[in-house]
C-alpha cells in the first residue's frame, strides 16, 4: 500500500511518519509521500535527527503545495493520512475518498455531525475504510479498563474528571496560525481524547455539553481559547468535567500533564477508576538539558505513548500505543482492501468498536459541534440533538 500523508507538522514528526517508516521496514507499506504547504516544513521533517537515527535508510517523497493536488495524483486504492489542521479535515477526507483512497485521519474527524455522516456514507458506498486516530484507545490501560468496566467490575460511572494541559510553548508553534477562536479551542483540540475514552470504556452516549473558554492572545496577536472547562452529561445522567489548556509550565516535568478519574456506583458501594496518564513511574534527571522544546533537566517521560528503542538492527524501533494505533489502522485498511465483501468488512470493523470509525464514533462529532456552539456563546448548555 502506498501512503500519502497530508500535513507535515508536529504530529507527523512525533508519531505518524516514524510509525509508517516502521511499517515500511516490516514490508506492510511501500512508498511514502508527504505533502505540506511549504518546502521549509518538508526540509525540516526530512532533516529530523531523531527520525534519521531511527531510520537511517528511509525517506519520503516531498510534495510542497496543495494537498488536493497531491491526493488527486495518488493511485486508486492506496492510503491517505490526513494530518492537517482540524478545520481542513472534511475537505481532505472527501478529496481522498473521491480519489478512491482508504483514509486514516488524526482526531477530530470533523467538527460537524453532518460532515461525519457524509464521510460515512461515501466511504461505505465506495468500499473504502476511514479510521480516526484516537490513539489513547490503544494504551493498554484503556483496553483493560474497557474490558473490566464492561464486565461490570466498576458498576456505573456517575461523576468524573479529566485533565490534559499542554505546555505553554505550544503557543509559539504553528498552532497560533490555526488553533484560533473561529476554528478550534483547547477542549476541541485536546479534550476530545477523554470524551472519546469515556465512551470507549463505558459505551455511554453524551447528551449535553457546556464549555467555558478563556481567550488569550498568541505571540502573533491572534486569539485562541487557550483555557477551557467543559461539562459533558451522559445518557445515564453521569457528568464528566474536562479541563484543557496550553498552560502547563515549560519548566514542569513531562511533555504535558494528563489523567482521568471516574467515580462509579456499585449500588451498595462506591467504585473508582483513576489513570495518571502523564506520570508513569519514570523519574529522570539529565546531566544536561535536552534541546527539544519544553524539555527539562528533571523529566517524567512516558514509556507508553511513543519511544524509540535500540533492538540492535542499526536503527531504532518505535514502541508504544502511538505506534500500535497506526499499525492497527493500517491493518484495518488492508483487511478491507483484501475482503471479498468490502462493505461488510467496514461494518464488521465498526461493530467491533476497537478503532474509531465515522459510523461508531459519532459521539465525538456530536460533542465537538455542541462544544463549539457553547464556547462561542460563553458556556451555555447545548443539548445534543439526536443522542445515540
User: What are the residues binding ligand NAD (CB under 6 A)?
Assistant: 6-12, 35-38, 41, 66-67, 83-86, 88, 106-107, 135, 174-175, 189
CB 28 within 8 Å of CB 3:
no
- With respect to ligand NAD, which residue has the nearer C-beta, 9 or 318? 9
Minimum Å gap between C-beta 362 and ligand NAD is 18
Minimum Å gap between C-beta 321 and ligand NAD is 11
Which residue's CB comes closest to ligand NAD?
Answer: 9
Minimum Å gap between C-beta 72 and ligand NAD is 13
- Cell numbers given for 2: 502506498
- With respect to ligand NAD, which residue has the nearer C-beta, 110 or 370? 110
Q: What b/e readout covers 124-135, taking b as 16+ CB neighbours within 10 angstroms?
A: bebbbbbbbbbb
H/E run at residue 318: strand 317-319
Angle at 195 (CA atoms; ends 191, 197), nearest 5 degrees: 115
Minimum Å gap between C-beta 313 and ligand NAD is 28
Minimum Å gap between C-beta 266 and ligand NAD is 32
C-alpha to C-alpha distances, 250 to 22, 115, 165, 168, 259, nearest whole angstrom: 31, 37, 11, 6, 18
- With respect to ligand NAD, which residue has the nearer C-beta, 66 or 220? 66
- With respect to ligand NAD, which residue has the nearer C-beta, 219 or 312? 219
Minimum Å gap between C-beta 176 and ligand NAD is 9
Backbone angles phi, psi at 24, to 5 degrees: -65, -45
How far is the C-alpha of 128 from the C-alpha of 379, rounded, in Å? Answer: 38
- With respect to ligand NAD, which residue has the nearer C-beta, 154 or 178? 178
Work out the end-to-end distance of the chain between its first and last CA atoms, rounded to an integer number of angstroms. 35
- With respect to ligand NAD, which residue has the nearer C-beta, 191 or 253? 191
- The length of the chain in residues reads 388
Amino acid at each position: 500500500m502506498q501512503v500519502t500523508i497530508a500535513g507535515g507538522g508536529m504530529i507527523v514528526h512525533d508519531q505518524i511518519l516514524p510509525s509508517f517508516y516502521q511499517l515500511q521496514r516490516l514490508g506492510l507499506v511501500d512508498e511514502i509521500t508527504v505533502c505540506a504547504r511549504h518546502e521549509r516544513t518538508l526540509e525540516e521533517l526530512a532533516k529530523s535527527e531523531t527520525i534519521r537515527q531511527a531510520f537511517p535508510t528511509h525517506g519520503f517523497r516531498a510534495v510542497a503545495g496543495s494537498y488536493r493536488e497531491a491526493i488527486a495524483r495518488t493511485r486508486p486504492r492506496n492510503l491517505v493520512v490526513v494530518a492537517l489542521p482540524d478545520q481542513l479535515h472534511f475537505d481532505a477526507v472527501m478529496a481522498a475518498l473521491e480519489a478512491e483512497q482508504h483514509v486514516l485521519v488524526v482526531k477530530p474527524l470533523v467538527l460537524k455531525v453532518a460532515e461525519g455522516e457524509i464521510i460515512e456514507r461515501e466511504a461505505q458506498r465506495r468500499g473504502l475504510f476511514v479510521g480516526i486516530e484516537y490513539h489513547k484507545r490503544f494504551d493498554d490501560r484503556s483496553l483493560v479498563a474497557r474490558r473490566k468496566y464492561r464486565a461490570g467490575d466498576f458498576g456505573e460511572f456517575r461523576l468524573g474528571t479529566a485533565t490534559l494541559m499542554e505546555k505553554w510553548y505550544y503557543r509559539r508553534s504553528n498552532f497560533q496560525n490555526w488553533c484560533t477562536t473561529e476554528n478550534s479551542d483547547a477542549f476541541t483540540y485536546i479534550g476530545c481524547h477523554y470524551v472519546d475514552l469515556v465512551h470507549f470504556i463505558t459505551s455511554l452516549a453524551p447528551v449535553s455539553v457546556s464549555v467555558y473558554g478563556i481567550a488569550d492572545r498568541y505571540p502573533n496577536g491572534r486569539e485562541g481559547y487557550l483555557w477551557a472547562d467543559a461539562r459533558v452529561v451522559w445518557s445515564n445522567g453521569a457528568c464528566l468535567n474536562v479541563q484543557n489548556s496550553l498552560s502547563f509550565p515549560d519548566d514542569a516535568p513531562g511533555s504535558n500533564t494528563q489523567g482521568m478519574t471516574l467515580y462509579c456506583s456499585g449500588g451498595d458501594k462506591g467504585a473508582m477508576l483513576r489513570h495518571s496518564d502523564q506520570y508513569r513511574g519514570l523519574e529522570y534527571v539529565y546531566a544536561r538539558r535536552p534541546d527539544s522544546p519544553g524539555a527539562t533537566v528533571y523529566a517524567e517521560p512516558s514509556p507508553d505513548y511513543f519511544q524509540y528503542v535500540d533492538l540492535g538492527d542499526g536503527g531504532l524501533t518505535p514502541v508504544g500505543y502511538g505506534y500500535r494505533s497506526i499499525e492497527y489502522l493500517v491493518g484495518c485498511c488492508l483487511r478491507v482492501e483484501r475482503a471479498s465483501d468490502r462493505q461488510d468488512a467496514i461494518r464488521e470493523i465498526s461493530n467491533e468498536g476497537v478503532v474509531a470509525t465515522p459510523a461508531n464514533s459519532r459521539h465525538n462529532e456530536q460533542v465537538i459541534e455542541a462544544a463549539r456552539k457553547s464556547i462561542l456563546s460563553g458556556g451555555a448548555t447545548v443539548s445534543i440533538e439526536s443522542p445515540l
